[in-house]
Amino acid sequence: MLNAQKQLMKGLLFMKDKVGIFATDVSDTKTGTWRLAKPIVNENCKVCGICSKYCPGLLIEMEDIAAIDYEYCKGCGICEVVCPFKAILMVEEAE
Amino acid sequence: MSDLICKGTTTCEGCGMELLARSIVEVLGKNTIVLTPPSCSAILTGFGDQTCWRIPAFQSNLENIAAYCSGISTALEYQKREDVYVVALAGDGGTVDIGLQALSGAVERGHRFIYICYDNEAYMNTGIQRSGSTPIGAWTTTTPGGKEESKKNIVEMLMAQGIPYIATASVGYIDDFKRKLDKAKDVNGPTYIHVLSPCPPGWRYEARETIKLGRLAVDTKLYPLFEAIDGDIRITKKVSKVKDIGEYLKLQGRFRNITKEQIKSLEVDAAKYYDKLVEMEVE
Amino acid sequence: MDKKVAIDGNSAIAEGVRLARAQVVAAYPITPQTPMVERVADFIDEGRLDAKYIAVESEHSALSAVVGAALMGTRTFTATAGAGLALMHEIVGVAAGNRLPIVMGIANRALPSPWSLQVDHSDTMAEKDMGWIQLYASNCQEALDYTLLAYRIGEEVRLPVMVCIDGFFLTHTTEVAELPDQEKVDRFLPAYDRGDVYLDPDNPMTINQLNSAETFTELRYAHNQALNEVINLFPKIAEEFKDIFGRQHSLCRDFECEDADVVVVTLGSSSGTARKVVQRMRANGMKAGALQVSCFRPFPKEDVIGKLKGAKSVAVIDRSWALGTDGPLSQEIKSAFHSAGIDIPIYNFVAGLGGRDLNEKTIENVIHSTVELVEKDEKRLYPIWIDVKKEVI
């Protein structure tokens, strides 16, 4: 690369000394803060995995019961609707 | 789950496209190059130095995503790299309207790439404007009185071109989509999957209903699920007990002002098209 | 062994592409560019060029496809003309902004409307500020040599290059040119380096994403730095070129400029005509000179000023539309002189539009008019349409 450019690029962290428009920083947004209602898993859970397949963020892991990643869960409520066993209920978030 | 897309993305809550994108990387794995046009899928491609993808990604223009795919696919061929998938993840406007020419050209030339259209039936990223894929009777910001014309059938257009693999899918039946993508990935040529992807803000419904609507569209015959391998059609979700279209429409605010005649035409066209598919189906 | 061949401009660029070992080519046919890409297709078919040819469905897709191929780390080529280039416009910016060293052959053709099949530079002038390097050849040898220089320079600064030849006057005119030996070209042009930004699952990155006001200016600034670097780089690489091939090329080519009363400045094929006119006028005692601007972007201000400053007056011929103001070449030269604080009379002439022959007579008229204007100390704020039919004036 040309010297003048190299110097310039150093000032631009996002370019990382490279020529072009690109990004390599994979970054999460903590979308859990968006949530107005929170899905709560109850004892009806059969660990069938349907909710985990349809969660748009794929944020539900099948452990002893369905385990929801609340750090990212936006609270859309799809899991409640797709659960055949009424094992997930949306509960309004407290203040 | 696959970690090829980061966890927290800024797609709307209940976004059908987000589920679709995650399902795509789950099936195809890390040796995938993904392209997104300016549309909701570009949210995943990110902003500034941030991206949601852990696979190579390129932000295309709206009308030429298939042309970029042509070049990428041809370069892969030149480099003798057969282990890399090239995927376009475009919305309905970027596909059936402005992207049609590039898509048709790329399919005709036979490049190996997978084109996935997430059909949310309007230009949602710019704020719910009518596209060729908007159904009759649907409100959008540019059809304030409801769209008067029927939805464009891009799948039939591409089938007429003799595409080696094509399928419809719905985020409501995600396993069906994944099976189809799994077939598409091994085809040595162009493949196309048209995926109905309900959009809560655009269709005016509660975010929780995305999957329910994705299923109802299929179960009412409005949106039949099928695939065609070298033109041989197979319906992948038989609808024996047809659900009432009214049930599908009343969940969505966009159909608030749909007329009785329009509902009738939706019903008649859906039944007719489904019957046609049954007739064409290969035993 | 180099060999002398009879070759037209389209084939000259095609030979350059073959010698440069382009790997992916995408193009759409348009007059008068078509034979250029036909020739490339032949080379691939005959096995003389190991490349893939994508016969796309539009020029817009042609440039898009080579952008895709360049992102994969392959050396690419496309070509177009006139309205085809206009259709590409959006992707012209994408190619440059992503810093992809694509080479594009241009058979200059007037933009519509009215429709014309023939040359003027309105097509490439409409793209002049999109961040590409633009080279204008005056003959078939230059067309070939500039193609090789385009790959070498473009890949060094990571910018795309347009190699422009006048429609029909160069594309379809056969001249004698030297076809260099492959071994020499390989010495001049190293194997393609994919650079820092590419699509590869082994090193995933997201390319061409949305940017904010926080970074946009800096990216554009870096782009501009790279483009301007060509001014320094061109003479160095031209020196290497001369050592290997024995031919001298420069950012602008001067002919009898030093003590000239009038220097006529041109782009493209009329530059050869201008040199011939100057030669004859000199023989008749008239102190004329000619300057061909070979590299229009970046504009070599210092070189142009250096070669023109000894002249008493300058006549700039724009073979492109000067609608509502000066032609683009004249704007550049006037701006350069003004910035440098040098005050010599510069007149702008528009000629040769839509394929009208920019012949010796026209160039003589330009020179005589300039002498007359200088003698009368007449200022002209707007260009003179020198070859317009008298009955419309």
pLDDT digits (tens, 9 = 90+) for B255-271: 999 999 999 999 999 99
The pLDDT of residue A27: 83
| Contacting subunits of C (3+ beta carbon pairs below 8 A) | A, B
In a 13 Å sphere around the CA of C327, the CA atoms on its Cβ side amount to 28
Q: Looking at the domain assignment, is residue A80 inside a domain?
A: yes
User: Exposed (0-12), middle (13-18) or buried (19+): which is B104, by Cβ within 10 Å?
Assistant: middle
Residue A61's closest chain B neighbor by CA?
B1
- What is the mean predicted confidence (pLDDT) over B14-30? 98
Q: List CB contacts (< 8 A) between A59 and chain B.
A: 1, 7
What lies within 8 Å, CB to CB, of C113 at 6+ separation is none
> Could you identify the residue written with the tokens 């809550």?
B13
Q: DSSP assignment of A38-64, as one string?
A: EEEE-TT-----HHHHH-TT--EEESS
The number of domains in chain A is 1
**Quick one: chain A helix, strand, coil %, rounded to 5?**
25, 20, 55
* Chain A CB contacts of C98 below 8 Å: 20-21
What Cα–Cα distance (Å) separates residue C278 from each residue in B180, B258, C139, C265, C271?
71, 77, 17, 12, 10
Shortest CA distance from C209: residue in chain B:
B59
Please indicate whether, in this complex, the C-beta atoms of B208 and A80 are within 8 angstroms of each other: yes
Instruction: Answer whether residue A11 is part of any domain.
Output: no
Cα gap C204→A25, rounded to integer Å: 10
Chain C residues in contact with B51 by the CB 8 A cut-off are: 205-206, 209
Report the CATH number that the domain containing residue A86 is assigned in CATH.
3.30.70.20
Q: How many CB pairs under 8 A join B and C?
A: 152
Q: Is residue A20 part of a domain?
A: no
Nearest CA in chain B to C74: B75
Across the interface, of C55, C201, C206, the residue whose CB is closest to B45 is: C206
Euclidean distance between CA atoms C306 and C299, whole angstroms: 13
In this structure, what are the phi and psi dihedrals at residue B5, rounded to the nearest 5 degrees? -125, 140
| Average pLDDT score over residue span B186-195 | 98
Which chain B positions have a beta carbon within 8 Å of A69's beta carbon?
A: 7
Mean pLDDT of chain B: 97
Round to whole Å and give the CA distance between C228 and C248: 21
Structural domains of chain B, ranges and CATH numbers in brackets: 16-280 (3.40.50.970)
pLDDT in tens, A32-57: 999 999 999 999 999 999 999 999 99
Q: Do C222 and A22 touch (CB under 8 A)?
A: no
Task: Return the pLDDT at B2.
Answer: 67
- The larger pLDDT score, comparing residue C216 to residue C304, is at C304
DSSP-assigned letter for residue B254 = G
* B206 contacts in chain A (CB < 8 Å): 77
Q: How confident is the model at residue C371 (pLDDT cuts 50, 70, 90)?
A: very high
Chain A residue closest to C193 (CA)? A1
Residue A31 domain-assigned (yes or no):
yes
In a domain, A4, yes or no: no
pLDDT digit string (tens) for C149-165? 999 999 999 999 999 99
- What residue numbers bound the domain in which A74 lies? 26-92
Distance from the Cα of B114 to chain A's closest Cα (Å) equals 21
CA distance B236 to C30: 45
Residues C99 and C67 sit within 8 Å (Cβ to Cβ): no
Residue A59 lies in a domain: yes
Decide if pLDDT at C43 tops 60.
Answer: yes
| Structural domains of chain C, with CATH | 3-245 (3.40.50.970), 252-392 (3.40.50.920)
Cβ distance B74 to C60 less than 8 Å, yes or no, reads no
Task: Give CA–CA dist C44/C29, Å, rounded.
Answer: 17
B50-86 pLDDT per residue, tens: 899 999 999 999 999 999 999 999 999 999 999 999 9
- Residues (pLDDT < 50) of chain A are 1-14, 16
Could you read off the pLDDT of B164-181 as tens digits, one per residue? 999 999 999 999 999 999
pLDDT of residue C154: 98
Check if C197 contacts A (Cβ < 8 Å).
yes
Q: Is A75 part of a structural domain of the chain?
A: yes
For residue B237 the two structure tokens come to 């979700």
- Asked, for residue A41, whether it belongs to a domain, the answer is yes
**H or E element: which one contains C362?**
helix C360-375
pLDDT(C7) > 90 = yes
Tell me the pLDDT of chain C averaged across its residues: 97
**pTM check: above 0.80:** yes
